[in-house]
Amino acid sequence: MTTCGRIGLIVHTGRQAAVDAAARVYEWAREAGVPVVEMDVWDAAATRRSAKSEMEAGGNPDLVVTIGGDGTFLRGVRVAVARDVPVLGVNVGRVGFLTEVEPAELRGALEAYADDRTFLEERLLLGLTASRQLDVPGGIDELLRFGRGPALPPVATEGDTDPRDGFTTDVAAVNDIVFEKLARDRQASLGVYVDGRLFASYSADALIVASPTGSTAYSFAAGGPVLSPRLRALVFTPVAPHMAFNRSLILAPEESVGVRVLEHSGQVAVSIDGQVRGVVGPGDWLSVSPSPHVARLVRVRRSDFYARLRDRFGLADAPAASADGTAPVSFLDA
């Protein structure tokens, strides 16, 4: 008896390998008697829904399968988190930090999930509170669009609140939340607060708050550290700050990072997992902390994050070290 009642399928239709792999999902599902519905479909007339609306339109599947790269996987997590369902990522991308299953393994992975032979790996997500509702001003949304897909709907907020507490949003970022300057000639000038206390004021191209999962993405490119995805922590990394202190901070999960736009700062774009979701200006503030939700990744085998790190970044041993000997692959083989 299958434990997989309904599959939500998200496909990078711009890659033929992804389209071919999607056909394998339909073939397996047809044989297993499991309904499949495509979700978050991109086309010329696409209007993307909120995560909750996308799940409802798809009949609330109990498994989301993504076929593409890490970007497609991020789309899947955004939707799946609305109903706390797991995500199985199939890799036909270039990097594949998040997606582990290859197309040739797809049928076996679906069978393993249906037979309860997989396990779930949980990842911390980032939540966002804002002093006002976020929006992208008219006339600049095309300029701000990141990526190749249609823009997401406005960030939703929950109910009425005391203005001092801000608005709790529906954001659940997998990788990072970034505050970045809009104009080339105007820096983002931001006061940064840790647990409500001023740490420092920055004038920078951007400030990144990343999850451990996102520590290998933009934060890493900006010089930030790599964190084990098993950790519950936040990473704060400035990008090209105009100050001597340009280091990252690693914060405990019970700590928050607050950002306040200073009075003479240029406008600041708020990007969530690579897509601009709002523009803020002087006097506005935002706070990032761990989301109450987690991403639930379907794994068919135990993951070796550090082997993947070495492989994906093409890490090589230091020539001087290689000249002095060869290290065994396993510590206990020494």
Tokens representing 231 are 């950790």
186 is in an annotated binding site: yes
276-293 in b/e burial notation, b at 16+ Cβ within 10 A? bbbbbeeebbbbbbbbeb
205 is in an annotated binding site: yes
- Which of 20, 40, 70, 141 is catalytic? The answer is 70
Could you tell me which residues are beta bridge partners of residue 295?
123
Place of tokens 């990394």: 237
Query: If you ran DSSP here, which 8-state letter would residue 236 be given?
Result: E
284 is in an annotated binding site: no
Whether 273 is catalytic = no
62 is in an annotated binding site: no
132 is in an annotated binding site: no
Query: If you ran DSSP here, which 8-state letter would residue 2 be given?
Result: -
71 is in an annotated binding site: yes
Q: How many CB atoms lie within 10 A of CB 327?
A: 12
176 is in an annotated binding site: yes
Sheet holding 176-181, edge to edge: 249-251, 234-239, 206-210, 176-181, 268-272, 275-280
What's the rounded Cα separation, in Å, for the pair 258 and 256?
6
175 is in an annotated binding site: yes
321 is in an annotated binding site: no
What's the rounded Cα separation, in Å, for the pair 274 and 175?
9
Residue stretches of the annotated binding site for NAD(+):
70-71, 75, 175-176, 186, 205, 240, 275
| Residues annotated as catalytic (active site), given as ranges | 70
Residue stretches of the annotated binding site:
70-71, 75, 175-176, 186, 205, 240, 275
